[in-house]
């Protein structure tokens, strides 16, 4: 599915997104990647320095809340991976509004654009296990478990996820939601 795909990766200068882009370009030589990133506190463009000259890679500085820009980019791609997010629970306690803008409104802008473009054949929402709330030791969440967000960050991600489910149910948009635990690495 990804070998000759044209991909939009949002938040591609973040830790997970940048490693994902590097993996895509190494594993799928026929793919083309557009990286849309606002370059916030969570971004590190240096992670992608090795692919800056790669003709299969293009960086676009912009916000997923910019409907005009998102619509233009969506016309060029087949698959969307939404890594863009305001992150960190502690930050959400101080300024929840920016989390709602990016994680809820921004996700909505992406979904609307994907829905309008029939060339988009998959939308992957990269979420967090924080949407399930606190789990007892040794107990792991299942995708069918109810959501119990316990912070503005978790609530904003749950809001984006709920929209993804609604767009799948209402419009048949082919959506996948991933909910990973905390990630660490170089």
In a domain, 34, yes or no: yes
Q: Is 63 a catalytic residue?
A: no
In a domain, 109, yes or no: yes
Question: Distance between CA atoms of 51 and 32, rounded to whole angstroms?
Answer: 12
In a domain, 90, yes or no: yes
pLDDT at 93: 84
Q: Is 41 a catalytic residue?
A: no
The residue segments making up the domain with residue 42 are 6-180
Question: Distance between CA atoms of 60 and 138, rounded to whole angstroms?
Answer: 42
In a domain, 159, yes or no: yes
Q: Where are the beta strands (DSSP E) in the chain?
A: 6-10, 32-37, 57-61, 79-82, 122-128, 175-180
Model confidence, pTM: 0.94
In a domain, 185, yes or no: no
pLDDT at 41: 87
Q: What is the CA radius of gyration of the chain?
A: 16
Q: How many domains does the chain have?
A: 1
Whether 185 has a pLDDT exceeding 70, the answer reads: no
pLDDT at 186: 63
In a domain, 35, yes or no: yes
* Confidence band for 96, pLDDT divided at 50, 70 and 90: confident
- For 100, the token pair is 């709602």
Q: Is 37 a catalytic residue?
A: no
The CATH number for 148's domain is 3.40.50.720
Catalytic position from the list 66, 71, 76, 129: 129
Catalytic position from the list 78, 130, 132, 161: 130
Catalytic position from the list 37, 103, 132, 153: 153
Among the ranges given (54-58, 105-109, 120-124, 179-183), the one the predictor scored with the smallest mean pLDDT: 179-183
């Amino acid at each position: 599915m990804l070998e000759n795909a044209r991909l939009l990766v949002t938040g591609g200068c973040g830790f997970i997104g940048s490693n994902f882009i590097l993996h895509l370009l190494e594993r799928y030589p026929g793919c083309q990647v557009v990286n849309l990133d606002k370059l916030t506190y969570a971004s590190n463009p240096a992670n992608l320095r090795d692919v800056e000259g790669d003709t299969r890679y293009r960086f676009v500085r912009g916000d997923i809340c910019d409907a005009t820009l998102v619509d233009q980019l969506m016309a060029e791609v087949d698959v969307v991976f939404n890594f863009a997010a305001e992150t960190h629970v502690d930050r959400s306690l101080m300024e929840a509004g920016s989390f709602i803008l990016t994680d809820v409104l921004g996700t909505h802008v992406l979904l609307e654009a994907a829905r309008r473009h029939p060339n988009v054949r998959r939308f992957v929402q990269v979420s967090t296990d924080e949407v399930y709330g606190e789990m007892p030791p040794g107990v792991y969440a299942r995708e069918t478990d109810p959501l119990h967000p316990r912070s503005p960050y978790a609530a904003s991600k749950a809001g984006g996820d709920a929209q993804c489910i609604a767009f799948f149910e209402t419009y048949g948009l082919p959506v996948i939601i991933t909910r990973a635990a905390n990630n660490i690495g170089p």
